[in-house]
Amino acid sequence: MGFGMDTFYKRLAVKNRKSVTVKGPVIVAINHPNAFMDPALFSYAAYPPKFYFLARGDVFKPGIATYIFEGLGIAPIFRMQDGGKEGLKKNDETYRRVFGMLKENKKVIIFAEGLCVQERRLRPLKKGVPRMVFNAMEEINNPNLTVVPVGVNYTNPKKFRSNLFYNIGEPIRVADFMEEYKAQPARTLNTFIKVLEPKMKELIVHIDNPKNDKLVGWLEELFLRDWCKKASLEL
């Protein structure tokens, strides 16, 4: 896979890799513009360590596909639109698996937007993200648990010899929120999203108005060389 990725993408860069390679448990909160390639490319770019991640539960059909997914460290996560209320009940087992991984100081990737859309903007984060984070903290009781925001930036996800940049932010210590969480759980869940969302947004090219997507692309083509020169950056 590494050979294929290095061939398809002209440049694959990672900034601040140290934040996700620490020894303690890490939850990587990442945006999701390019389906399965997002976690696969990130796992390759930040290797070692090995990363585990969650994928839509409806793709876990009985047979060879599920066997391969589980062998790659992928656990199913069910949304209401995937399996209804019965599907949501299956998430309890997934959470137990995730908590078990974190107890062993493993790294787990979660797609905080809850869906895959090829857009240059961050969608609102799902409320299930802080629920998983704080439930994990209560379960493993490890003060070193961190949530690391990551921004995925493609010049063009489908274009051969395009560029890819993983912009990794600074870790957020979950322990810093636990006192407030014990007193006001619901309020703390909202607080955590308000902390995480802007940190993720600043790591990507976020275009508020979709009508400006093409315009921004054209401006980048026109001025990128000059911008890099002024900032003393290599194009």
Q: Domain with 62 in it: what CATH number?
A: 3.40.1130.10
What does DSSP say about strands 162-168 and 74-77: parallel, antiparallel, or unpaired?
unpaired
How many domains are contained in the chain?
A: 1
71 falls within a domain = yes
Cis peptide before 62 (omega within 30 of 0): no
Q: pLDDT of 157-199, one tens digit each? A: 888 988 899 999 999 999 999 999 999 999 999 999 999 999 9
Question: How many whole angstroms separate alpha carbon 99 and alpha carbon 224?
Answer: 43
Q: pLDDT of 118-150, one tens digit each? A: 889 999 999 889 999 999 999 999 999 999 999
59 falls within a domain = yes
13 falls within a domain = yes
57 falls within a domain = yes
42 falls within a domain = yes
Q: Residue 70 is part of which domain span?
A: 2-204
Work out the angle at residue 26's Cα, subtended by the Cα atoms of residues 24 and 27, and round it to the nearest 5 degrees: 165
H-run or E-run covering 92: helix 80-103
- Say how many residues make up the chain: 235
CB burial of 166-197 (b: ≥16 within 10 Å; e: otherwise) equals bbbbebbebeebbeebeeeeeebbeebbeebb
Write down the H helix ranges in 104-235. Answer: 128-140, 178-183, 185-201, 213-230
224 falls within a domain = no
162 falls within a domain = yes
Query: Is this prediction's pTM over 0.85?
Result: yes
Identify the pLDDT of residue 85.
Answer: 67
